[in-house]
């Protein structure tokens, strides 16, 4: 049994804590909204007022928060993890999806404090977090990952080690950028189908069994057809926007233009501006419906060119 502090009890964090408690670990939780800890405490976790008090003497610290700003607060704020006293050599396991710049900053700060850092963003939805079927995308030293594996095992079906610190985050930003482009594509496709008079249910049945199918396309396409963007939100547009922006920052750092990513970001920015950012990311179809059609493209001449 390990002593674990878990910081951040959002949609994903609550399920992950439940898995760690069920595995027999001594877990203390901290969250800005303390009421979110109630059910977890009833299930065997302990609650702390802030991250600094949560990490007293622990063997590992997990964090699962929304963005760079929240990460900076919970790790380096006046009542953050680094203001507390985790055990020397404790594992710092950052599961949040952060920018590559923030990962570099955070890894440096935790190592300087005597901790062993892993960037460990996840893929999967809240139900998968609760079931322990996430995929973990790890960047860090092999020996640190080996030490962390017994703690990570209850959370995941797969643990993918991409290399040194930052590599797990790089992959997570890449895959979420691809997802943003796919979601924008299916939204536009369904709007075209709608205006062409096609039955959207039939269109989604065909898409789900065709070459364009992916879990991202099918999951969001079905929600677009059902128009249930505000029910049981699995991934809000606000977070897809954040991840896409972080991915494009990485692309710029690596001198990659990523024009399709910028188009997807434009739609997500419009989603936030329309007040739909807390709805499921599938709500981007409402933005596609509002777009003013561009000039009709020229059709290239057919036949053999001489």
Which segments of the chain belong to CATH 1.10.1040.10? 170-290
Distance between CA atoms of residues 208 and 222, nearest Å = 9
Q: State the pLDDT at residue 302.
A: 55
Contacts of 214 (CB under 8 A, 6+ apart): 182
Kindly list the catalytic residues: 172
**CA–CA distances in Å: residue 89 to residues 86, 114, 152, 173:** 8, 6, 17, 28
Q: What is the pLDDT of residue 34?
A: 83
Query: Which residues make up the CATH 3.40.50.720 domain(s) of the chain?
Result: 3-165
Per-chain mean pLDDT for the chain: 95
Domain 170-290, CATH class in plain words:
mainly alpha
* pLDDT value, residue 298: 65
Q: For 37, which DSSP code?
A: G
Digit-coded pLDDT (tens) for 83-111: 999 999 999 999 999 999 999 999 999 99
Length of the chain in residues, anyone?
306
Predicted confidence (pLDDT) per residue in 235-289, tens digit: 999 999 999 999 999 999 999 999 999 999 999 999 999 999 999 999 999 999 9
Question: CB neighbours of 94 closer than 8 A, spacing ≥ 6?
Answer: 63, 71, 103, 106, 117, 118, 119, 120, 121
Domain 3-165: CATH architecture, name and number where available: 3-Layer(aba) Sandwich (3.40)
Q: How far apart are CA 181 and CA 264, in angstroms?
A: 5
Q: Who contacts 112 (Cβ-Cβ below 8 Å, separation ≥6)?
A: none
Q: How many CA atoms lie within 13 A of 100 on its CB side?
A: 20
CB-CB contact of 17 with 45 (8 Å): yes
pLDDT value of position 306: 36
Q: pLDDT tens, 188-231?
A: 999 999 999 999 999 999 999 999 999 999 999 999 999 999 99
Q: What is the pLDDT of residue 35?
A: 86
User: Token pair 């040194």 is at which residue?
Assistant: 164
The 10s digit of each residue's pLDDT in 33-47 is 888 899 999 999 999
* Distance of alpha carbon 306 from alpha carbon 304, whole angstroms: 6
Model pLDDT for residues 152-200, shown as the tens digit of each residue: 999 999 999 999 999 999 999 999 999 999 999 999 999 999 999 999 9
């Amino acid at each position: 049994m390990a002593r674990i502090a878990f910081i951040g009890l959002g949609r994903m964090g609550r399920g992950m804590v439940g898995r760690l408690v069920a595995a027999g670990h001594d877990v203390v939780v901290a969250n800005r909204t303390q009421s979110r800890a109630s059910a977890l405490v009833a299930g065997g976790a302990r609650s702390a007022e802030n991250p600094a008090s949560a990490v007293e003497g622990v063997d590992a610290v997990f964090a699962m928060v929304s963005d760079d700003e929240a990460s900076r607060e919970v790790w380096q704020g006046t009542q953050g993890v680094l203001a507390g006293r985790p055990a020397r050599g404790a594992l710092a396991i950052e599961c949040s999806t952060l920018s590559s710049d923030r990962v570099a900053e955070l890894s440096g700060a935790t190592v300087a404090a005597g901790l062993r850092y892993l960037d460990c963003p996840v893929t999967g939805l809240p139900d998968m977090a609760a079931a322990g079927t996430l995929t973990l995308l790890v960047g860090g030293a092999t020996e640190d990952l080996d030490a962390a594996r017994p703690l990570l095992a209850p959370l995941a079906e797969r643990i993918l080690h991409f290399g040194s610190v930052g590599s797990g985050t790089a992959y997570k930003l890449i895959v979420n950028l691809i997802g943003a482009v796919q979601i924008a594509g299916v939204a536009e496709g369904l709007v075209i189908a709608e205006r062409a008079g096609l039955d959207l249910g039939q269109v989604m049945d065909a898409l789900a069994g065709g070459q364009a199918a992916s879990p991202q396309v099918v999951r969001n396409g079905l929600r677009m057809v059902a128009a249930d963007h505000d029910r049981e939100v699995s991934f809000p547009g606000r977070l897809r926007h954040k991840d896409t922006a972080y991915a494009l920052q990485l692309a710029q750092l690596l001198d990659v233009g990523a024009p399709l990513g910028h188009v997807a970001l434009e739609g997500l920015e419009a989603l936030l501006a329309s007040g739909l950012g807390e709805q499921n990311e599938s709500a981007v179809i409402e933005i596609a419906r509002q777009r003013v059609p561009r000039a009709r493209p020229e059709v290239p001449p057919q036949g053999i060119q001489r």
